[in-house]
Structure formats: structure tokens, C-alpha cells
Amino acid sequence: MPSSYLHCFFFVALLLSEVCGNRVGDSGRYPLVVSTWPFVEAVRAAWTAVDHGLSAVDAVVEGCSACEELRCDGTVGPGGSPDENGETTIDALVMDGVMMEVGAVAAMKYVKDGIKAAKLVMQHTQHTLLVGEPASAFAISMGLPGPTNLSSPESINKWTKWKEDLCQPNFRKNVLSVDSCGPYHPKDTANSCAQANPVGTIESSPARVGLHSHDTIAMAVIDKMGFIAVGTSTNGAAFKIPGRVGDGPIAGSSAYADNDVGACGATGDGDVMMRFLPCYQVVESMRRGMEPKLAAEDAILRIAQKYPDFVGALFAVNKEGEHAGACHGWTFQYSVRSMEMEEVEVFTVRPSTVSMST
Ligand code: SD4
């Protein structure tokens, strides 16, 4: 059953249960909005939407759209992190925790509205994830503006400087290049190439995602009826190899929601994090009774055990509205607006520690 029908069904059930004195949802704990980083305007936009009665899904779309329009941190929406070719692409996801419906786009070009494109995938297809230029074509065919050039003066400057720095750092490994900007050859098979070009073989230095830029908005909303949704939007990693898809559009990695349990949102080195599905782990841990702070810490530590240099963070929120964060390799902040708050509050989480809700 499509979730819009389900929402209607639950709304009728809500009215009936109110009449019978057995009211569900609207317990005074909801609505609630949680977002990665101090993306305060995005949280305000989602709060306004959900406080006016919009669904969790629609509020997530409003919140992430606000971040895309504001180009939060210069790494969400158009004009952000360029890839090796200087192009900006968008990864985005939306997930409805009622029926576990997901829509996502990855490496999408020419369309600036990532989260709206993700919602179109969820609402108007039986698929979960569309990628690349076909994702752009789909989004435009369904009414989103485009094709649009996603570059900005800032992204072009950033890319020009990177080229001047001999394309360092970058995400290549075990490669040789006659020029450090490529073309690249696998190290094992590069002997023939190196012999053909014996001068100037260069090994790339590794790039790290997100250490100096906070690339992803991941947002969770619990609406007035207690329904939970999550969404993400990001340009991914600066100077990524064209075609790279990060954790942003991967359900269970960048975000996850289950109405029976709660939600999670993540940010950081998506190439590593998506190997662990940390948000899926967080929600499953909470399902088994773990508090949000322990669930968040456990998921982060599990990655850190295998990748001690990894940089990443996540927040966890359960259906009671308790929230917490955990991080590794950097200090993390997440933003919250709840019924008890007059304004959006920003929580700071230090590596290897957690910040708990009251
Ligand atoms: C990615 N997770 O594409 C994103 C980047 C990010 O803070 O969140 N950086 O890997």
C-alpha cells in the first residue's frame, strides 16, 4: 500500500482512537527534528513544516531542500564539491520508516534538487535508486527544473586550485601516473607504462573525506502522529573519481528509519562507512533495547576497530525522542528541535564520547 494511503489510514485511526480515549501519537514528545551539523536553518524549515502538520517525509524534504538552497557548508546542493573533472554531482535519499519505502539518486548531474528527486523516485517508481544522467533525465521528466549547470565560482576555484596542486590529494591508490593528474595505470601492470614513460611516475597521496568540510545533511523527523522519516543530501567527496557514489544514497548507511524503533543519520567517510551500514546497525541495536547513545557509539567503534583513521559521525534517535551522537576522528555537532525547545539546539560530541539528550 503506498505510504500516502497508509498515512490517511493512520490519520483516520488516530481520530477514532482519540474519540475512544486511546490516542496514539501526538504524545507531547513529537514532533521532533534531528540533523547532522549545525544546519540550523534546515532544522527550522523541517520544524515549521512538521509543526504545521506535514508528514515526516514531507518535513524531511523541506529541511534537506533548505540546506540544498543554502548550499550548507558549500557541500550540499549545487555549486559544491567538484569531482576530478570539476563537476558537481548530488547524492540524496529519503526513507519512510512506516513501510520502509526508499527513494534515492546518486551521482546525479544537472538537477539541483537532490532530495526532491529522491522523493520522486520513492513516490513514482518501484525502484529504490537511480544513478547518473538517467537519474537527472528522470527528475527533469517528472517536473524538476533542469538541466542546470551545478558548478559555481567557488567549486570552479576549488577545482582550479586542486589542479594547480597537481591533483593532490586524490582518491587513487596503487596507481602510477606519468603526470600526477593522470592518466593513471594500475601499479602492477604499470611497468610497461613506466618503461614507456620512464620519467616522472608519481604515486598519489590519499584524500580523506570530510575532515575540513561537512558534506552531508542527514535528517530525521518524527511527525505529530509519531511517523518517522529520514533524508540525506550531499555533493559527496571533493575530488572524487567521476562515477563515485558515497554513502549518502545508501539506506542503512547514511540514514535509516523504522517506525517501530527510531532513526539514524550519518556523515563522514562514506567510502568506509557504507561497508558497515552503521545506521542499520544503530536502529537494530535500539530495536534490541540499546539506548541511542550506546547504539551510536557501538556502530562507530565497530568501524574504528577496522579503520582506526576513519573520520565519521552519526546521531541516533529512538521513538521516545531520546537522541545521542557518536563520532571518530573529528568533533561532531548535531542539531535538534523538539517540543521542549524554544529554538533549535546544537549538541557537540567529542570523539569517543557521546552527547545524550535529557
Ligand atoms: C560521502 N558521507 O559522500 C559523504 C560525505 C560526508 O562529511 O558526509 N562528509 O562520503
Nearest-atom number in ligand 1 for the CA of 271 is 10
Residue 325 lies in a domain: yes
Residues lining ligand 1, judged by CB closer than 6 Å?
A: 209-210, 214-216, 234, 236-237, 246-248, 267-270
Bridge partners (DSSP) listed for residue 251: 255
Cα 66 to Cα 1, 116, 147, 278, 342, distances in angstroms: 29, 11, 20, 26, 20
Residue 164 lies in a domain: no
**Of the given ranges (7-21, 40-54, 114-128, 182-196), which has the lowest mean pLDDT?**
7-21
Residue 171 lies in a domain: no
pTM: 0.89
Average the pLDDT over 14-41 and give the result.
65
The boundaries of the domain holding residue 126 are: 26-150+209-356
Q: Residue 25 above 60 pLDDT? A: no
Q: Which amino acid is at 211?
A: L
How far apart CA 247 and CA 98 sit, in angstroms, is: 22
Task: Note the pLDDT of residue 79.
Answer: 82
Q: For residue 178, what pLDDT band results from cuts at 50, 70 and 90? A: confident
Task: Note the pLDDT of residue 17.
Answer: 33
CATH number for the domain harbouring residue 245: 3.60.20.30
Average the pLDDT over 40-51 and give the result.
98
Task: Note the pLDDT of residue 213.
Answer: 60
Q: What is Dmax (Cα atoms) for the chain?
A: 83
Q: Which range among 74-78, 196-200, 215-219, 254-258 has the greatest average pLDDT?
A: 254-258
- pLDDT tens-digit map of 86-125: 999 999 999 999 999 999 999 999 999 999 999 999 999 9
Domain count, the chain: 1
CA dihedral sign of residues 248, 253, 255, 259: positive
Known catalytic residues are 216
Angle 138-143-148 (CA atoms, 0-180°, nearest 5)? 75
Cell of 100: 520502509
Residue 163 lies in a domain: no
Residue 277 lies in a domain: yes
Residue 5 lies in a domain: no
- pLDDT tens-digit map of 149-165: 999 999 999 999 999 99
- pLDDT tens-digit map of 232-283: 999 989 999 999 999 999 999 999 999 999 999 999 999 999 999 999 999 9
Nearest-atom number in ligand 1 for the CA of 269 is 10
Residue 114 lies in a domain: yes
Q: Give the chain's mean pLDDT.
A: 87
CA dihedral sign of residues 305, 310, 313, 318: negative
Span from the CA of 207 to the centroid of ligand 1 (angstroms):
13
Residue 305 lies in a domain: yes
